[in-house]
Homo-oligomer: A and B are copies of this chain.
Amino acid sequence: MSLTVDAPTTRSARRRPDLVSALRAPQGFGDATLRDRAPDAIELLGGIPDPSVLPADELAAATARVLARPGLAALQYSRTQGISPLREWVAAREGVPVERVLVTNGGFHGLSLAVQAVVERGATVAVDNPVFPLFLRGLELSDARVAPVPVGAHGIDVEALADLLRGGLRPAALYTVPDFHNPSQGTLPTEQRRALVRLAEHYGFVVLADNPYRELRFRGTPQDVEPFNTSSHVVHVNTFTKTLGPGLRLGWVVLPDDLAADVAALRARQDGHSSTFVQAVVGELVTSDPDLFDRVLDTARALYRRRSDALADALEAAAPGAFRVERPEGGLFLWPEIADPDVDPEVLAADAAAEGVLYQRGSFFPSGPGTDAHRHLRLSFGDTSEARLVEAARRLGRAVRRQR
């Protein structure tokens, strides 16, 4: 075949779709350029579970069992919503019909699917202020406008949200972390959950309730998830990330009936379904020994309580009066406030890095004006030993003293 083109070969400019043009380079939180570190730096950066409380041996044993089964269903295609044993286990634990459960590749994936299925391009989304910054990055998929809603000591301020709605705010969705708010660590009381859901149903928006830390409560009183699982206006986003390991990339969403089909249709056109292999292994893990998951949680909670207290104690010892430390009831973060007005938070972060301790600066978390987040530090204690946490506090203490 002779193939001729009519003109000299010149590379034509490709037009980038609006979808990708709206994705902006990360700044602040998650910016890899900020991750340069001293060789022995202590990283208190991410919500990372400790390897010692992940059930590695049990996962290996479950894998051997599912790969020994005739027909090898674990290596074959499966349905978009997830494999039955895992979906049924999740549905029973959530107290919802199995049809409302869709298995995801982790919590962020659940948020991303919900954003794409719920938020029209350019629409407005109400979000926590301060907020988990990666959610804002996910919102870029819908090129959404952000409406910040204040977060107080007990999670999102539902009364403030009601005022904004009365004032004309009409969001397509609202994003909040109800248990151990990220970053500010408060938990939304059950009654406020109900009020939030009533607002969503009245004004016609969808609550994206992001609950990755929910199972890691180590003190205080649990607040109900039932308001989130019984409303037609909530997507309840959950994951095994903080309990069985982020690397599995396995989570789930509880969807309202009228969203389940849209999310499944979208998912079927993206990656089809979560790894059958991972689902089969985790499904086998949690169903073959019905108490195992709770035993894993008990061990993890005890570890994180000790680490949380160790870090809080060490901060108070290493830098007396420098921080106001609210002890969290669960999760993987401390959110101390810089109490000394002479200490500049950005200078402190730079000095701390020089001393060999890295954390997420509070200034990465506001979604709008009006918060004191920039006066806080987000310190992760999940995957750092008590001894290293004490050393991290000492380094922070030295960093504080550079300004005092």
Taking beta carbons and an 8 Å cutoff, which residues of A are in contact with B?
A: 1, 3-7, 9-20, 23, 46, 48, 51, 54, 56-57, 59-60, 63-64, 67-68, 70-78, 104-106, 108-109, 112, 116-121, 123, 137-138, 140-142, 158-159, 162, 166, 172, 191-192, 195, 198-199, 201-204, 206, 232-233, 244-250, 258, 262, 265-266, 268-278, 280
Whether A249 contacts B273 by the Cβ 8 Å rule is yes
Given the complex of chains A and B, what is the CA–CA distance between A278 and B247 in angstroms?
9
Whether B270 contacts A77 by the Cβ 8 Å rule is no
Q: Chain B residues near A67: list those with CB within 8 A.
A: 56-57, 59-60, 63
Q: Chain B residues near A14: list those with CB within 8 A.
A: 118, 204, 206, 258
Q: Chain B residues near A108: list those with CB within 8 A.
A: 271-272
Q: Which of B64, B78, B198, B268 contacts A64 (CB 8 A)?
A: B64
A196 to chain B, nearest CB (A): 9
Q: Chain B residues near A141: list those with CB within 8 A.
A: 266, 269-270
- Closest B residue to A25 by beta carbon equals B265
Q: Chain B residues near A57: list those with CB within 8 A.
A: 67
Whether A116 contacts B248 by the Cβ 8 Å rule is no
Q: Chain B residues near A202: list those with CB within 8 A.
A: 5, 7, 9-10, 12
Given the complex of chains A and B, what is the CA–CA distance between A277 and B278 in angstroms?
8
Q: Chain B residues near A77: list those with CB within 8 A.
A: 46, 48, 246-247
